[in-house]
Chains A and B, each alone.
Chain A
Amino acid sequence: MPIDWFTVIAQAINFLILLWLLKRFLYRPIIDGLDARESKIAGVLADADNKKKQALELQNQYEKSLNSIEQQGTKIVASAKKEAELTAKNILDEARQSADILLKKRLAAMQQEISQSRQDVLQESMREVYALCRKVLGDLADNELESMLFEKLIQRLNTLEENQSSELKHALVNSGNRVLVRSVFSLSNVQLSRLQHCLQDKFVTDKQQTIEVTQSLVPQLITGVELTLNGWKISWSAQNYLTELQQQVEAALDLSPSNNNTDEHAESAN
């Protein structure tokens, strides 16, 4: 096996030439291409990572904003619910109030109507009673009854209390000692002079002054005598009895509309 040293050297040179050529045409372009692709892929991966991070950040942001929006929405819905409930409550309250007012008005009107009708009935019945009483008293009234009533008036004047008698004295002074006597039947001169003397003796301090008594016939009194002077009145008549009777009847029946109304108000408030 001879070794041809020329061939050995030539082959070594050939190998070195091949090495250079392959480096030039194979390894460098391929390795450069691989490096370029690797760097590109690394760049793409880094970009993808960045985008992923950004996407995650965006996702977090959106989730946060969604949560806040949901919370706001819940708050808005809750406040809207509250407002709606409040509004409904207000509307219902207003409706109730207006219904109450209407009801009260209606009740008041009904009550008024009832009381009015009751009053009307009462007044009508009273009127009938008065008319009947007047008729009876009118039928019974005569000079004898009138004189009895006159006597009662004289008796009342004599038995007046201290304050009433002082008031009468003042009234006499203020009226200039003028007294008006109202009656159904005309009084006799004797009766008038008795009245004058009674007043003169009992209520006039200055004996120089005389009391002037004038008479007036009033059929509405039915029967009885009435003494009036400067807004002061003392009477003894059937009209007075009837008025007192009417007042007593009204008090007993409690037909005063104002009283009824206040009671109803109290009930509605409860």
Chain B
Amino acid sequence: MHISPDEIIYWQYGFIKLNATLVFTWAVMLVLVISAYLITRKLNRKVHRSRWQNGLEIIVITIMQQIAEAGLAKPKQYMGFLGTLFLFIAMTNLLTIIPNFEPPTGSLSTTVALAFCVFISVPFYGIKNKGLKEYLLSYTQPTLFMLPFNIIGELSRTLALAVRLFGNMMSGAMIIAILLVISPLIFPVIMSILGLLTGMVQAYIFFVLASVYIAAASVINKHQSLTLHPPKPMTPKEK
């Protein structure tokens, strides 16, 4: 029994290795790209369209709505990055239903790579929307004293992203493997269904959190200046 698909190595040359994580990632990529190509090849821009196209459009529109709900004003700008995150994780977790499929999200390397992409995208979009100075100043909010804590928060939440997804997916795969050994009939099926559900939920959580982090870094805070006037001296009548 192996914990991570990284351990299954098909080919290696020095530090370059072809493990199950990469192979299955390419498989998921192929499924996504080929199905997208096949559906969008005969794209109909008129009112009447195929069911597949309609399904894809629903997925894209729903993702855009979720991005907008997270607080990002122009969802099309973030569609590529956040949509790909969701679709990749969701498709990976969905394909665990296939026997002998090793989900790449069950590898800490993959989740770290995805979390690293989010970690890079947050300042990228923040600087793009706010400007470098404004973005860097956001780390000193509400006071300069909070700067180290903000930096630690930035790093820890990225780590949490990676570990949460890895832990959930790895534990699901492990439970199914153990149950297959103990009771090979009904329980693995139920657990697979539950695994599918948790996989979808994890994909959604990863996507929403990434959206929220980017939104928090991108939204411009409008500071309101408050001028305090000294109180008027009291007149004898008021006394």
Contact = CB atoms under 8 A, between A and B. Distances in A.
| Chain A interface, DSSP helix/strand/loop, else mixed | helix
B60 A30 contact: yes
Contacts, number: 117
A23 B76 CA distance: 11
A172 B10 CA distance: 186
Which of the four size classes fits the interface of chain B?
35 or more
A18 B88 contact: yes
Interface of A: 1-12, 14-19, 21-23, 25-27, 29-34, 36-37, 40-41
A140 to B, nearest CB: 140
20 contacts: A1-B108, A3-B112, A7-B107, A7-B110, A7-B113, A8-B110, A9-B113, A11-B25, A12-B117, A14-B26, A18-B33, A18-B88, A21-B32, A22-B83, A27-B79, A27-B80, A27-B83, A30-B57, A34-B61, A36-B45
A208 B36 CA distance: 170
A26 B116 contact: no
A1 to B, nearest CB: 5
B46 A37 contact: yes
Given A11-B21, A18-B84, A30-B56, 18 more contacts: A1-B108, A3-B108, A4-B6, A7-B22, A7-B109, A7-B113, A8-B113, A10-B113, A15-B88, A21-B29, A21-B32, A22-B36, A25-B33, A27-B60, A33-B57, A34-B57, A34-B60, A34-B61
A25 B114 contact: no
A221 B105 CA distance: 170
B57 A4 contact: no
B17 interface: yes
B22 to A, nearest CB: 6
Interface of B: 3-4, 6, 15-17, 19, 21-22, 25-26, 29, 32-33, 36-37, 40, 43-47, 53, 56-57, 60-61, 76, 79-81, 83-84, 87-88, 104, 107-110, 112-114, 116-117
A236 B69 CA distance: 150
Contacts of A19: 80-81, 84
Nearest to A6: B15
B116 A12 contact: yes
Nearest to B80: A23
B112 A25 contact: no
A18 B32 contact: yes
A37 B48 CA distance: 10
B86 to A, nearest CB: 11
Contacts of B19: 4, 7
Nearest to A17: B29
B87 A7 contact: no
A11 B87 CA distance: 15
B108 A26 contact: no
Contacts of A10: 22, 113
Nearest to B26: A14
A25 B40 contact: yes
B30 to A, nearest CB: 10
Nearest to B33: A21
A98 to B, nearest CB: 81
A22 B2 CA distance: 32
4 cross-chain pairs, A with B, having the tightest CB-CB distances, nearest first: A11-B113, A7-B109, A26-B36, A29-B40
A1 B22 contact: no
B77 to A, nearest CB: 11
A4 to B, nearest CB: 5
B37 A25 contact: yes
A11 B29 contact: no
A14 B33 contact: no
Contacts of A22: 32-33, 36, 80, 83-84, 87
Contacts of A8: 109-110, 112-113, 116
